[in-house]
């Protein structure tokens, strides 16, 4: 890596940047710096040397050119949901795109264009007015760009694949300060990289992607007492062998804290739950989940729901939270894997994890029809554990419980992890298929040979 010194831009240069952009520039000590540097994940204490709140693609270009002239590295951020796995930003510029939230829906081509600060709810709600759905994830306020660049595994994934495979074009500022539009004809390497390898090659200012004709789905959650964890997870796992690609589901252990943000009827309780969404009608959906209903859940929320309501299904927090977690892909979830999982995080273990989920993968995710860094995901399942990290002690306890979870499931580990839900620091080689990793090193060498861009899961350019 080129030596990026820890630079201290002089006042005149900073003033030049401040006056040259529509957005705002903050330095440590400035009024507003502490508020502006806050990420969605409140456990992240990011302290960039320069923070730019961009209002437009032109602002991003100017900020990147400024940083290059100063010999400064640059980290892009939309919401900060993924801030936990990014290295410390001392000496670097943080470019926040959260003010850039314009979204255009094009019903005739079934596509959307979202600016880099858009959250999923900015897309799913207007798309639904046209009977269209995006490949959004479990949470309404996760950023469209960060999520999609890292793959994007949502409720339609087994039918339509990872969100990154539906990207048709990006507008991106390269580390040398050029704003380019990359699609399959122009700069195809850039397009390939943003389709699953994260923000390794530049700062995306807008993204275009395919929408799918979906008005309603049959979806819901079955809650069972945590004591039934083993029985319910075994039944769910066997059932996943029988379901069509139109059905995406997960099995989950939940320890809900006695906090106000949790719905009252769940507060302070532990459950084993099954969540599922079926792209089809109520009759077929009810038939499909009948074997799970027959287990006798304590609470059953299955019903036809409009597509944007999928983002409430997983009960993700809708306010910034301090959290720590990590995930892994599994080749399979065997009966022995379920027993091992329940033994370390199930009832009576006192686990500090709020949630441990196992998502059913396969279907279109394994498809291999597209051309992106995560075009093929061979794993059968994805496991993810997360807990509250409001204090350093809590963070340590959660991190250690997550490590135990991952060690326990190691015998079933797939060849690589899932980019988006690998939330502990990990190199790109750990979160991408080996062939994609090799190509990414070449693309990195072409666009960012000096490693100016700071990202989760960094990659070294090929030499």
Residues that bind ligand FAD (CB under 6 A): 76-83, 86, 97, 116, 137-139, 142-143, 145-147, 149-154, 198-199, 203-204, 316, 420-421, 455-456
The CB-of-134 to ligand FAD minimum distance in angstroms stands at: 12
The CB-of-51 to ligand FAD minimum distance in angstroms stands at: 13
User: Which C-beta is closer to ligand FAD: that of 231 or that of 450?
Assistant: 450
Tokens of 80: 């900060």
Q: Is 228 helix (H, G, I), strand (E, B) or coil?
A: helix
Q: Which of 109, 96, 25, 114 is nearest to 66 (CA)?
A: 25
The CB-of-90 to ligand FAD minimum distance in angstroms stands at: 16
Helix-helix angle 11-20:57-70, to 10 degrees: 160
The CB-of-454 to ligand FAD minimum distance in angstroms stands at: 8
User: Which C-beta is closer to ligand FAD: that of 340 or that of 421?
Assistant: 421
Q: Is 129 helix (H, G, I), strand (E, B) or coil?
A: coil
The CB-of-42 to ligand FAD minimum distance in angstroms stands at: 11
410: CB partners within 8 A, 6+ apart: none
The CB-of-308 to ligand FAD minimum distance in angstroms stands at: 14
Q: What is the DSSP string of 348-374?
A: TS----SEEEEEE--GGGG---S-STT
The CB-of-173 to ligand FAD minimum distance in angstroms stands at: 8
CA–CA distance, 85 with 326 (Å, rounded to integer): 10
Per-residue DSSP letter, 460: P
Q: What is the DSSP string of 160-222?
A: H--GGGGEEEEEEE-TTS-EEEE-SSSSHHHHHHHTTS-SSS-EEEEEEEE-EE-SEEEEEEE
User: Which C-beta is closer to ligand FAD: that of 284 or that of 316?
Assistant: 316
User: Which C-beta is closer to ligand FAD: that of 174 or that of 455?
Assistant: 455
User: Which C-beta is closer to ligand FAD: that of 60 or that of 342?
Assistant: 60
User: Which C-beta is closer to ligand FAD: that of 120 or that of 239?
Assistant: 120
User: Which C-beta is closer to ligand FAD: that of 79 or that of 351?
Assistant: 79
% helix, strand, coil for the chain, step of 5: 35, 25, 45
């Amino acid at each position: 890596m080129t030596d990026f010194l820890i630079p201290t831009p002089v006042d005149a240069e900073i003033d030049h940047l401040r006056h040259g952009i529509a957005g705002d520039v903050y330095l440590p000590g400035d009024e507003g710096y502490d508020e502006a540097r806050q990420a969605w994940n409140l456990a992240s204490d990011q302290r960039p040397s320069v923070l730019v709140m961009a209002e437009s693609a032109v602002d991003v270009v100017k900020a990147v050119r400024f940083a290059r002239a100063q010999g400064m590295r640059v980290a892009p951020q939309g919401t900060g949901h993924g801030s936990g796995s990014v290295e410390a930003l001392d000496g670097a510029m943080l470019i926040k795109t959260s003010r850039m939230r314009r979204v255009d829906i094009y019903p005739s081509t079934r596509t959307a264009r979202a600016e880099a600060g858009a959250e999923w709810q900015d897309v799913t709600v207007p798309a639904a007015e046209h009977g269209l759905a995006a490949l959004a994830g479990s949470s309404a306020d996760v950023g469209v760009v960060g999520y999609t660049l890292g793959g994007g595994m949502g409720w339609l994934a087994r039918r339509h694949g990872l969100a990154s495979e539906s990207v048709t074009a990006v507008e991106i500022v390269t580390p040398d300060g050029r704003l380019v539009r990359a699609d399959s004809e122009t700069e195809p390497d850039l397009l390939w990289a943003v389709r699953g390898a994260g923000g390794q090659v530049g700062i995306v200012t807008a993204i275009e992607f395919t929408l799918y004709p979906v008005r309603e789905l049959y979806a819901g959650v079955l809650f069972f007492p945590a004591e039934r964890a083993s029985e319910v997870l075994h039944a769910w796992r066997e059932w996943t062998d029988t379901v069509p690609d139109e059905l995406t589901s997960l099995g989950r252990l939940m320890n809900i804290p006695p906090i106000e943000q949790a719905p009252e009827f769940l507060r302070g309780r532990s459950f084993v739950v099954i969540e599922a969404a079926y792209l089809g009608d109520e009759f077929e959906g009810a038939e499909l989940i009948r074997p799970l209903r027959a287990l006798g859940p304590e609470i059953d929320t299955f019903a036809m729901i409009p597509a944007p309501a999928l983002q409430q299904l997983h009960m993700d927090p809708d306010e910034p939270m301090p959290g720590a977690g990590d995930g892994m892909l599994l080749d399979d979830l065997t009966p022995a894997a379920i027993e091992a999982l329940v033994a370390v995080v199930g009832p009576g273990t006192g686990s500090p994890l709020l949630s441990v989920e196992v998502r059913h993968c396969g279907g279109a995710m394994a498809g291999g029809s597209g051309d992106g860094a995560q075009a093929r995901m061979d794993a059968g399942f994805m496991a993810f554990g997360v807990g509250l990290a409001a204090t350093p002690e809590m963070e340590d306890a959660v991190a250690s419980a997550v490590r135990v979870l991952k060690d326990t499931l190691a015998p079933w580990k797939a060849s690589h992890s899932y980019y988006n839900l690998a939330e502990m620091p990990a190199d790109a080689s750990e979160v991408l298929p080996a062939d994609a990793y090799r190509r990414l090193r070449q693309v990195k060498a072409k666009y960012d040979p000096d490693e100016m861009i700071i990202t989760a899961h960094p990659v070294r350019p090929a030499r």
